[in-house]
Structure 1
């Protein structure tokens, strides 16, 4: 591999690169750091293409570009580094098109895989209890506890919680109508502490809500509470209750899903409660261990047990 770094590329591959480097210096005005980065990435790809028998850049098509991206992934490149590599290649091919050496950019349709956002660490049961131990009786504290009890008790998304109207809450049947992603309606059960604190808030809500406001949760201004306000209040309660974890609406939803799955082992039920269209989303969301499913299968399926050998 070290030999590749010092072995010059064949003229047909190297000369267009040198012209591109000069173009970057004289016309694009890119920083020296960016120029060096582009040069390093392009030289690496040039050597790889040469090893595979590619004679010139004009012979590179989308298939070759995908192979370059795959090689980077196999080598353990980060998504951001791979995106930079492909970006340098796209810029180089744009330059060749500008010069009339190529008609189309084969790297335009190839993109680096998206970097997966890490899921938030869920709160453990004791941390949830510590967060929700809000006994202050001022109306806004009651509202905030009702919000947190409902988010944790029903596993709601922030947008779902904010959009709830009074008419969506049914105490007798212990369910709430919510509108999820894609404007899909579903009913979620709520009882126990969630129902109790929502009822307490309903008795105090008229102190703030404007007469025509349909929202269940309102701000001090009397209108529907905003996403940002909910996030801010949860963060403040986490600090006030001395919870070591950073508190957010998504973390409460994630904790609901994790605790429900740990207690029930019912993936399908958790999927429905969360409003996930695909069960694969629920598996990722709750860090479901495949071994856990395998154990459930071994215990439950009548054909999973090995016959005893006599």
Structure 2
């Protein structure tokens, strides 16, 4: 009776779509069935308290209902009791002191170190200008963890070969310095020499197209998607996957969380802590934090 009246209110007074009304109906019918088990077979909203709602949450979670779905059901129930309060049927909303379960954040997708080694050290890149450039794009993203917008904005003057530091301009024009290893230095030198010989003066941008125009974020995405497509087990292929891979590899190989936070340009340590999802099983004591730096004689994390 109460639920039917509420659904009519949603349908005719609030003009909710039939799909939305049916979703509310399903959630509320489920709660009604559960509540009846605790109210001698009769659903009486006035007798519903926070304990019944909390027990229902536990029941749903034990039935393997995802936290996001549980929270949606609680939202439906909260709206229902707000309606009942307006109608004077109940004096308080029993959900006012009830918190829903925290939904698990999606873990960052990353490439296995062995797959990255095979991709970067294999013979899949041509030796022409675009092949050298594309390999450098993948290497820069994986070795430094920078965003694709940051990579697209790199200038020649941002590379300090003597100190082996890259100056990156991130969000809100905040700048940070990222160290790089000998192997990446060699690749940068090879690329710049080839670019200058074949393309000529390019106005200061590090990465350019064959036309001499600066490369943009869409170009970088296309290159990464194509190259990561060579890893058959990988279902997600984007520049951000390489950023995730950088952070995961750093932590798995002994880098401190706060140091990785600074390298990524995160404002909050909480943003970086999600990358610890694999470290508990894979963490090993090593001298160099990043596998590429260790392999090619660099000194990440030192």
Alpha carbons of structure 1 residues 243 and 20: separation in structure 2 relative to 1, 3 Å: closer
Deviations 1:123-161 (A, max 9, x none): 233543324535423222221111111112222232332
Alpha carbons of structure 1 residues 278 and 91: separation in structure 2 relative to 1, 3 Å: closer
Check conservation: 1:38, 1:88, Cα contact below 8 A.
Answer: yes
Aligned match of 1:78 in 54, 66, 73? 66
Alpha carbons of structure 1 residues 73 and 211: separation in structure 2 relative to 1, 3 Å: same
Matched, 1:202 2:188: no
Q: Gaps (5+ residues) in structure 2?
A: 286-302
Alpha carbons of structure 1 residues 141 and 291: separation in structure 2 relative to 1, 3 Å: closer
Distance in 2 (CA, whole Å) between partners of 1:182 and 1:111 is: 34
Aligned match of 2:139 in 149, 153, 160? 149
Matched, 1:171 2:161: yes
Check conservation: 1:169, 1:175, Cα contact below 8 A.
Answer: yes
Q: Gaps (5+ residues) in structure 1?
A: 1-14, 297-310
Higher relative contact order (CA 8 A, sep 6+): 2
Name the residue aligned to 2:109: 120
Deviations 1:143-182 (A, max 9, x none): 1111111112222232332232222111111110113355
Name the residue aligned to 2:175: 185
Aligned match of 1:37 in 19, 23, 42? 23
After superposition, the CA RMSD in angstroms is: 4.3
Q: Comparing 127-136 with 169-178, which one deviates more in the overlay?
A: 127-136
| SS of structure 2 residue aligned to 1:178 | strand
Alpha carbons of structure 1 residues 158 and 47: separation in structure 2 relative to 1, 3 Å: same
| SS of structure 2 residue aligned to 1:287 | helix
Q: What TM-score results when the alignment is normalised by the length of structure 2?
A: 0.68
Distance in 2 (CA, whole Å) between partners of 1:144 and 1:118 is: 27
Name the residue aligned to 2:274: 284
Name the residue aligned to 2:288: none
